[in-house]
Copies of this chain bind each other. A is one copy, B any other.
């Protein structure tokens, strides 16, 4: 088996964890997703472009972020193995995006275009549920994050991040985590010191 097919097996395993797939559905999935390798610091999506793909991460890690007029980055989302990422607004509206998706580590991704996704939706109704569930899960996660943002201190949000994403926490530089939490990296450093001293 070549490596391309092997990478797609992770996608198939992921998709069939919610619904079992027929042979025909599997065949279509394999045909419609395109594999790409992204170097560290390579862009999957760049501000000003239209987001033309829904992306599944096979290996590595991506970050999705916005940049403010002063040039500061704000991390909206990390996507590591088995996770989906896309700027849904640009993807469906076909308007230029305001955000970036960039590889933090060398990564392998699988992508489907909007047209092919719509083709899947109309010809294999099951995929409507599959992608509805994918979005619903991401929605629940985002809602928890909003609740944290409006109710918890920076220290609480950091501890929650460690609990919720232990693997990411050990993989990512603290600067990236601080940007995700909405604090400066200097302040995260102080939080870490305080936590360490208290234990």
Q: Hey, which bits of chain A sit against chain B, CB under 8 A? A: 66, 68, 72, 74-76, 88-89, 92, 121, 125, 128-129, 131-132, 135-136, 138-140, 142-143, 145-147, 149-151, 179-182
Residues of B within 8 A of A129 (CB): 121, 128
Bound CA span A185–B151, Å? 14
Q: Determine how close the nearest CB of chain B comes to the CB of A24; give it in whole angstroms.
A: 16
Interface of chain A, main secondary structure: helix
Whether B150 and A149, one on each chain, are in contact in the complex, defined by CB atoms closer than 8 angstroms, is: yes
The 28 sampled A-B contact pairs (Cβ below 8 Å) are A66-B147, A68-B151, A72-B151, A74-B147, A74-B151, A76-B146, A88-B143, A121-B129, A125-B125, A128-B129, A128-B132, A131-B132, A135-B136, A135-B139, A139-B139, A142-B142, A142-B143, A142-B146, A146-B146, A146-B149, A149-B149, A149-B150, A149-B182, A150-B179, A150-B180, A150-B181, A150-B182, A151-B182
Q: Which of B76, B132, B151 contacts A132 (CB 8 A)?
A: B132
Whether A88 and B140, one on each chain, are in contact in the complex, defined by CB atoms closer than 8 angstroms, is: yes
Whether B74 and A150, one on each chain, are in contact in the complex, defined by CB atoms closer than 8 angstroms, is: yes
Bound CA span A121–B68, Å? 41
Residues of B within 8 A of A179 (CB): 150
Residues of B within 8 A of A150 (CB): 74-75, 149, 179-182
Bound CA span A66–B152, Å? 12
